[in-house]
Amino acid sequence: MNIVEDKKAPRAIEAERGVLGAMLLSAEAVDKALQSLDASCFYLPQHATIFRAAEELYKENMPVDIVTLSDYLARKGELESVGGRIQLTNLIEGIIAPSHIDHYIKLVLDAALKRKLIEISTKTIEECYESAVDASDILDNAESRVFEIAENRLKGGLAPIGDDIETVYEMLSNLQSKRGIITGLTTGFKKLDALTMGLQKSDLIIIAGRPSMGKTAFALNIVRENAIRKNIPVAYFSLEMSRQQLALRLLAAESKVDAHLMRSGLLRRSDFARLSLHLAPLKRAPIYIDDSSNLNVLELRAKARRLKRRVNLGLVVVDYLQLMVASKDVENRQQEIALISRSLKGLAKELDIPVIALSQLSRMVERREKSNYKPQLSDLRESGAIEQDADLVIFIYRPFLYDIFQIEIDEEVDGKLRKKKVNTERLAEIIIGKQRNGPTGEVWLNFQKEYASFEERIEGVEEEVEEGEETQFGGV
């Protein structure tokens, strides 16, 4: 079965002639055609040859007309194969008005796109008949090919840097006029956003920590900030918790109601009042949760692509990376994690949005000396590829979980940093372990365990350790 052989392939021969004829008569038509088309868009080989010749003349800053084109094709030994000079003359004579070039281009593109879709469909059918190919791989391949056409058919490949330099300069000028304004998605924490300038498009962001540090809670803080406060669509892929569990945590954090009381049925009337107040905003929020277990990276990418096209997706969260499976057989777990990490980075670039992936840290953290439990890049579990692929790595460290009850931290008071001993029960250090285009550093937040949410630290509210009281370290 061959669809292309059974039926004539879509074509727009007269429109192809119209494009080429207009190019021979108008420099403006040449600009428009070269911006929108390439030789593969032409059905007839001789038309593709003529277009390529015009493209080469354009690159050499030569005029594109019947004289220069005939000479170029003759020198290349291709003039006769396209029908000779008389064929070029016929192209010109068939033109009603070069100004119709936009319409001709549209017809040529439409036919070329249909041929490309037939090619993709035929390839998909062939793969379906090959028993060695998994159906999930076929589905992802087909979806990826169609998505690529839809998103990139007018985009070039390799391009000179001149235009990009101009774009970057304009961006810098714009940023200079808006000094201090966050350029990416905000996290809801001012000091953290000031360090990162927000979560940037096409970036892979890793949020890492040992169990119970609050990775999911921190991710949900970011989800609430963007979906509820700013109406930005967010896709949350949860491989550990169910949709209902996440909904409960979102409701608890947003309404500041104790999640344990919610689960145990011990809510007071005032709690219900707060819950009711926050139900409507949460119901309206563009948060899309997928709690499929054993999700592989191809399925995740396919679902994210569909949502991007449907609701203009602005953020993807994966909770968490080590629970995902690769879409193909690999030799070991390190290779599998590396494949998943690269795929998530590819997804961020493809959709041009930030992708957040939560990640576990290795047990090596707890094997270090008691005073050195802070996570490091080398603690990223199972693969150095995570560190390599990530644009931003954020560690969550809560010293209280290591029986470190009081610590000394630097805090700004009246514009000056001063040492301050604080209790750690609610203290969380957010550590920027890597930032590809910015500084590393740390930010201190409070963790509200009752409703699993992080909050900004407010000066003068946190309990200070009395002078002379010793900092305590307990066993783990």
Q: Catalytic one among 78, 240, 387, 411?
A: 240
Q: Identify which of 295, 297, 290, 308 has the alpha carbon closest to the alpha carbon of residue 335.
A: 297
Q: Identify which of 192, 204, 206, 200 has the alpha carbon closest to the alpha carbon of residue 175.
A: 200
CB atoms within 10 A of CB 208: 27
Rounded to a whole number, what is the largest CA-CA distance in the chain? Answer: 100
The answer to whether the beta carbons of residues 80 and 43 sit under 8 Å apart is: no
Strands in 255-413 per DSSP E:
287-290, 315-319, 355-360, 392-397, 406-413
CA dist 232 and 314 (Å) reads 6
CA dist 222 and 196 (Å) reads 14
Burial of 285 (0-12, 13-18, 19+ CB in 10 A): buried
240 catalytic per annotation: yes
Q: Identify which of 198, 196, 184, 238 has the alpha carbon closest to the alpha carbon of residue 216.
A: 238
Residue with tokens 């249909």: 114
**Amino acid at the residue 195:** L
Active-site positions read 240
